[in-house]
Amino acid sequence: MNPAIDTRDLSFAYKDRGVLHAVSLSVEKGEMVGILGPNGSGKTTLLRVLSAVLDAQGEIKLNGRNIATYGRRELSKLFAVVAQESHVNFPYTVAEIVLMGRASYHSPFALEGKKDLAVARASMELTDCLSLSDRYLHELSGGEKQRVMIARALAQEPEILLLDEPSAFLDLKHQVQVFELLRRLNRERVLTIVGALHDLNLAALFFSRLVMLREGKIYRDGSPREVLTEKTIDEVYGIRVRVEPDPSGEKPQLFICPSS
Amino acid sequence: MNRSQRILIVHCFVGSLSLLCGLNVVAQAATPAPRRIVSLAPSVTETIFALGFGNRLVGVTTYCDYPAEALKLPKIGGFMSPSLEAIVAKRPDVVIGVSSATDPVKAREMERLGLKVTLISLASLRDILNSIKSVARLLGSPDAGEKLVHKITKQFDEVKTRVAPAPRRSTLLAVGLQPLVAVGGKNFIDELITLAGGENIAGNAAQPWLNLPDEYVVAKAPQVIIEAGMGSERERSAKYWGDLKSIPAVKEQRVYAYPSDKILRPGPRVGEGLEEIARLVHPECFAASKRESNKGSGCEGSRP
Amino acid sequence: MKVLDRRRMILVNGVLLALLALSVVGCALLGPVRLDLSQALQDIFSANPDAEILFRARLPRILLGVAIGGGMAACGVVLQALLGNPLACPQMLGVSGGASLGGILGLILFPHWLLPIAGGLLGEISWVPLAAFLGALLSMMLVYRFSLFHGRLHPYHLLLSGVIFNSFVAAVIMFLNSIVDFYQAQGLLFWLMGSLSTRAYLTVAFIWAYIIVGFLWLWAKGLSLNLITLGEEAAMQLGVETVALQRQIFVASSLMIGAMVSVSGMIGFVGLMIPHVVRLIVGSDHRLLLPASFLAGGIFLCWADTLARILLAPAELPVGIITAFFGGPFFLFLLYREGSRKLAL
């Protein structure tokens, strides 16, 4: 069985600044992987390379096929991306935005059909934004916008979901909601999920596998307990923490130890 | 102060006043006529030559092409954009420009640099004739001005007499096709058209020059169309107007391409320009073989 | 959940099409001179002044106005999507500047040269609009070349190159304006302010064919245009080949704008204002926005030209002045009424 995502010696440089160095990562179908690392470690770049927005050196295979052999329309049915921020300069309603996720499923000359509308509606129900469907995107709060973006990604009916810091602008309640939704989707639909995360504690609670990046290279790859150690945190983030298990006893949680 | 001292002061006061006035008069009479003139417009150049002072011109524009001697004179720039430096370098006694064309900012600049600048108005025929007189006076020879104006007025009268018996012909005088730029009202050419026995179809317009939409020309149905702009050419005119056959000028083949500076320049040749227009508007009044006596006014007879 | 469906497409476009037809008829009947319609329709082919006013003087320019108004509006919509900027307009590409410059040079250097079409069978056209179109092509290639960044047409660079190129061209035009004579300067104004004055049905037909083809091609890209307004990366991730699309849109709209400016000079404001007004009414889905803007642009320019003929009769104003003069305040009024709610600015 081919892994959903398989990269080998992936390298990328912005002009002369190297961002990713020989990243070899393999994600099986149905896995839920969190990519961690401080700012500048290459998390976002890795996602952009995986979603074929950037061209990198090295090999990427999706479902066993080299990514270069896919057309963009095909790729958009294979994976969907939820970006950190969305800058939409034109007034679209939530329904219009979510329906754009169906672009690859109908002819560009035709309007959306019944199935497209049904899928869009279901996606909005899942992300709890159906009630916002006729509001304009730019009128929504950061959290509402994020839910709409996830709905759009789900409307693409992807096999793989890539998320870039999905909880960056959400309040605590919505952060937990988003992660619980992701876990549900992962279990019910066998959706492969790769997310770049900055909140280490939430990452530990919801993701079964964590990949820690440091200066563009994979530093650690494994279960939360293996990756989130005091030594690793110190070496990668440069801060001292204490690691204790959570109330269930299974997942590690970090306690920050300020120096003063 | 005693009485005699007061009388002395009053006498001195009155005396110096009269002395000053006297000096002033003497001073005016003693101001020499300008010997170095810069012209900022072709019509001004023509006027100066026509008054006999062509030899005093030290600078003209690149558009000054009449008379032929003007071509040899040093150039100080274009019509709308004369070169300040070139003008100053010529050390003119006076710079003569046209009030509607010369940039007032440039004029002020020249005055600030110590030059004497005179702007004449050439908006109407009366302005043109008056400006000839004022330039003549400025150059110190008012008689030459009177003579020239008299000559032009005579040319006007001759034409007026010739076309008097003929009925007015509605006329369109254009200087460009695509866009169609026509002579409007408040334009000396409009007056020429009237004097020539024509009626300018755009004469009621407020602007001296205007873009005319084709439908207006068709509606006004001019009997004569004259294209006087540089580059006017018969074949092109014919092609342009050819499909508007309802226009009398087109039907009767009175569309003339007649590029002429005499018509377009508000200068001393304006009388000749009038005749040119009249010959086009009323060719029958200028028939070569003028039948004498029994034929009455001379505007009847077959059109040439 | 309100979405774009066939009913809405047909309704909006149908209403606009009807308004367009009415406008064409209305504008044909209006003008600085009175038209006797019955007289005009009686003897169409004889030397009948009313017929000539209606069919030879007014109708060609009205039809031209519809085509150019529609084309400018459509290009405005597409460019706003391409540049991701609701304030983009056809002038920004630099193509119109190049076309104006080409036309002006043609007007100064060879105003009377003619090119026979089909060996003279279909008449002749002046070299001036051809020179303008050549200017448009050259400027398109230049701006394209300067905007290419790592093989991609980056919207920011496109905008910058276009604006810089326009400034340069404006300077050259001003220079030329200062050295031509008084009468040539009048002709220059035509290029700078625009005019729909034409009697040649051949020209009108040619422009119509050209613009319809261009418009249909752009309309077919409607869905991709929606996606590209979400951002380049988002569009890529939703299945759009953005690099190719940007190039295609740039070339198509440049060619259209070049042709339009070659025939009628630079008529501004239509491409900026109409997309916004239409967007306020029908929304941002380009599959409806494009045809609606095309029709609305045609209606607008039709009336603008009529006003240009009537306002200072008998003089004809450059239509570009009308579009700016009335377009601006109307847009402000609409903005005030709707508030910033729908504009996301």
Instruction: Give the span between the Cα atoms of C252 and C237, in whole angstroms.
Output: 24
- Enter the DSSP assignment of B168: P
Contact A240, A259 (CB under 8 A): yes
In terms of residue numbers, what domain contains B69?
Answer: 37-120
Q: pLDDT tens digit string along C3-36?
A: 888 999 999 999 999 999 999 999 999 999 888 8
Contact B172, B249 (CB under 8 A): yes
The mean pLDDT value of chain C amounts to 87
Tokens of C228: 């590209």
Q: pLDDT class for B161, splitting at 50, 70, 90? A: very high
Statement: residue C278 has pLDDT above 90: yes
Mind telling me how many Å the CA of C9 is from chain A's nearest CA?
10
Give the best-scoring range by mean pLDDT among B136-150, B279-293, C41-55.
B136-150
Low-confidence ranges of chain A (pLDDT < 70): 260
Q: HSE on the CB side for B84, CA within 13 Å?
A: 13
Q: pLDDT class for B268, splitting at 50, 70, 90? A: very high
Q: pLDDT class for B1, splitting at 50, 70, 90? A: low
The answer to whether position B69 is within a domain reads yes
**Are B100 and B218 in a shared domain?**
no
Statement: residue B26 has pLDDT above 50: no
- In a mutational test of the A interface, the residue from C218, C237, C334, C341 whose CB has the highest number of chain A CBs within 10 Å is C237
Instruction: Give the span between the Cα atoms of B172 and B254, in whole angstroms.
Output: 11
**Are B266 and B170 in a shared domain?**
yes
| ipTM of predicted complex | 0.89
Q: pLDDT class for B15, splitting at 50, 70, 90? A: low
Q: Do C3 and A96 touch (CB under 8 A)?
A: yes
- In a mutational test of the C interface, the residue from A78, A85, A90 whose CB has the highest number of chain C CBs within 10 Å is A90
The mean per-residue pLDDT over the stretch B141-159 comes to: 93
Higher pLDDT, C111 or C172: C172
Tokens 């000396």 belong to which residue? Answer: B188
Q: Do B215 and C195 touch (CB under 8 A)?
A: no
Tokens of A211: 């990949």
The answer to whether position B284 is within a domain reads yes
Of A45, A51, A105, A47, nearest in space to A75 by CA: A51
Tokens 């003028």 belong to which residue? Answer: B290
The mean pLDDT value of chain B amounts to 84
Which of C32, C182, C195 lies closest to B179 in CB terms? C195
Contact A211, A218 (CB under 8 A): yes
Domains of chain C: 6-338 (1.10.3470.10)
**Are B79 and B198 in a shared domain?**
no
Is C182's Cβ below 8 Å from some Cβ in B?
yes
pLDDT at B293: 42
State which H helix or E strand residue A25 sits in: none
Q: Do C49 and B214 touch (CB under 8 A)?
A: no
Collect all residues of chain B within an 8 Å Cβ-Cβ radius of residue C30. Answer: none
Q: pLDDT class for C48, splitting at 50, 70, 90? A: confident
| φ and ψ at residue B238, rounded to 5 degrees | -60, -45
Q: Do C309 and B213 touch (CB under 8 A)?
A: yes
The share of chain B scoring above pLDDT 90, in percent, equals 46
Tokens of A38: 């401080």
Q: How many domains does chain B have?
A: 2
Statement: residue B144 has pLDDT above 60: yes
Q: Supply the DSSP string of B23-78, one letter for each residue.
A: HHHHHHHHSPPPSSEEESSHHHHHHHHHTT-GGGEEEB-TT--SSHHHHHSPB-B-
Is C239's Cβ below 8 Å from some Cβ in A?
yes
Contact C275, C293 (CB under 8 A): yes
Q: HSE on the CB side for B219, CA within 13 Å?
A: 18
Q: pLDDT tens digit string along A208-238?
A: 999 999 888 899 999 999 999 999 998 888 8
Could you say which residues from 37 to 56 on chain C have a Cβ atom under 8 Å away from some Cβ of chain B?
Answer: 47-49, 51-53, 56
B touches which chains (3+ CB pairs under 8 A)?
C
Q: Which of B95, B120, B145 is the last residue of a domain?
A: B120
Which of A72, A86, A89 lies closest to C236 in CB terms? A72
The answer to whether position B114 is within a domain reads yes
Q: List the single range of A140-149, B144-153, B288-297, C13-22 with lowest mean pLDDT.
A: B288-297
Between the alpha carbon of residue C303 and those of residues C63, C65, C319, the distances in Å are 11, 9, 10
CB proximity list for C183: less than 8 A, separation 6 or greater: B175, B176, B181, B229, B230
State which H helix or E strand residue C181 sits in: none
Higher pLDDT, B292 or C45: C45
Query: Taking CA atoms, what residue in C is nearest to B229?
Result: C183
pLDDT at C122: 67
Q: Please count the other Cβ atoms lying within 10 Å of the Cβ belonging to residue B9.
A: 11
- Beta-bridge partners for B176: B181
Contact C52, B244 (CB under 8 A): yes
- Beta-bridge partners for A210: A34, A222
Name the amino acid, one letter, at A110: A
Q: pLDDT class for B149, splitting at 50, 70, 90? A: very high
| φ and ψ at residue B40, rounded to 5 degrees | -105, 10
Name the amino acid, one letter, at C293: S
Please tell me whether residue C299 adopts helix, strand or coil conformation.
helix
Phi-psi region of A64 (alpha: psi -120 to 50; beta: other; left: phi over 0): left
Q: pLDDT tens digit string along B169-209?
A: 999 999 878 788 899 998 999 999 999 999 999 999 988 88
CATH for B102:
3.40.50.1980
pLDDT at B302: 45
Q: Do A111 and C4 touch (CB under 8 A)?
A: yes
Rg, chain B, Cα only: 25
Is C2's Cβ below 8 Å from some Cβ in A?
yes
Mind telling me how many Å the CA of C42 is from chain B's nearest CA?
14
pLDDT at B17: 59
Q: pLDDT class for C178, splitting at 50, 70, 90? A: confident
pLDDT at A41: 85
**Are B213 and B277 in a shared domain?**
yes
Mind telling me how many Å the CA of C76 is from chain B's nearest CA?
27
pLDDT at C344: 47
Of C172, C107, C113, nearest in space to C139 by CA: C172
Is C26's Cβ below 8 Å from some Cβ in A?
no
Instruction: Give the span between the Cα atoms of A30 and A56, in whole angstroms.
Output: 25
Q: Do A156 and C226 touch (CB under 8 A)?
A: no
- Enter the DSSP assignment of A93: B
Query: Taking CA atoms, what residue in A is nearest to C2?
Result: A134
The answer to whether position B6 is within a domain reads no
The answer to whether position B191 is within a domain reads yes
**Are B215 and B290 in a shared domain?**
yes
Q: Supply the DSSP string of A140-179, one letter for each residue.
A: S-HHHHHHHHHHHHHHT--SEEEEESTTTT--HHHHHHHH
Is A90's Cβ below 8 Å from some Cβ in C?
yes
pLDDT at C174: 86
Statement: residue C65 has pLDDT above 90: yes
Q: Do C190 and B179 touch (CB under 8 A)?
A: yes
The mean per-residue pLDDT over the stretch B51-69 comes to: 89
Is C187's Cβ below 8 Å from some Cβ in B?
yes
Angle at B41 between CA C316 and CA B140, to 5 degrees: 135
The answer to whether position B75 is within a domain reads yes
Mind telling me how many Å the CA of A54 is from chain C's nearest CA?
9
Please tell me whether residue A62 adopts helix, strand or coil conformation.
strand
Statement: residue B66 has pLDDT above 90: no
Q: Which of B120, B148, B174 is the last residue of a domain?
A: B120
Q: pLDDT tens digit string along C224-240?
A: 999 999 988 899 999 99
Domains of chain A: 5-227 (3.40.50.300)
Instruction: Give the span between the Cα atoms of A213 and A20, in whole angstroms.
Output: 9
The mean per-residue pLDDT over the stretch B37-55 comes to: 92
Instruction: Give the span between the Cα atoms of A20 and A13, in whole angstroms.
Output: 7
The mean per-residue pLDDT over the stretch B100-117 comes to: 86
Instruction: Give the span between the Cα atoms of B112 and B106, in whole angstroms.
Output: 10
pLDDT at C227: 94
The answer to whether position B51 is within a domain reads yes
pLDDT at A78: 92
Statement: residue B9 has pLDDT above 80: no
The answer to whether position B241 is within a domain reads yes
CB proximity list for A94: less than 8 A, separation 6 or greater: A124, A129, A132, A133, A134, A135, A136, A137, A140, A148, A151
Say if residue B229 is exposed, middle or buried (CB neighbours under 10 Å; 0-12, 13-18, 19+): buried
Say if residue B10 is exposed, middle or buried (CB neighbours under 10 Å; 0-12, 13-18, 19+): exposed
Q: Which of B63, B88, B120 is the last residue of a domain?
A: B120
Q: pLDDT class for B19, splitting at 50, 70, 90? A: low
Contact C143, C95 (CB under 8 A): yes
A touches which chains (3+ CB pairs under 8 A)?
C
| Beta pairing, strands A209-214 & A217-222 | antiparallel
Q: pLDDT class for C345, splitting at 50, 70, 90? A: very low
The mean per-residue pLDDT over the stretch C104-118 comes to: 81
Instruction: Give the span between the Cα atoms of B86 and B74, in whole angstroms.
Output: 9
Mind telling me how many Å the CA of B255 is from chain C's nearest CA?
16
Which of C49, C51, C314 lies closest to B202 in CB terms? C314
- Beta-bridge partners for B181: B176, B211
Tokens of A200: 């280490």
Is C318's Cβ below 8 Å from some Cβ in B?
yes
pLDDT at C183: 67
Q: Do C186 and B181 touch (CB under 8 A)?
A: yes
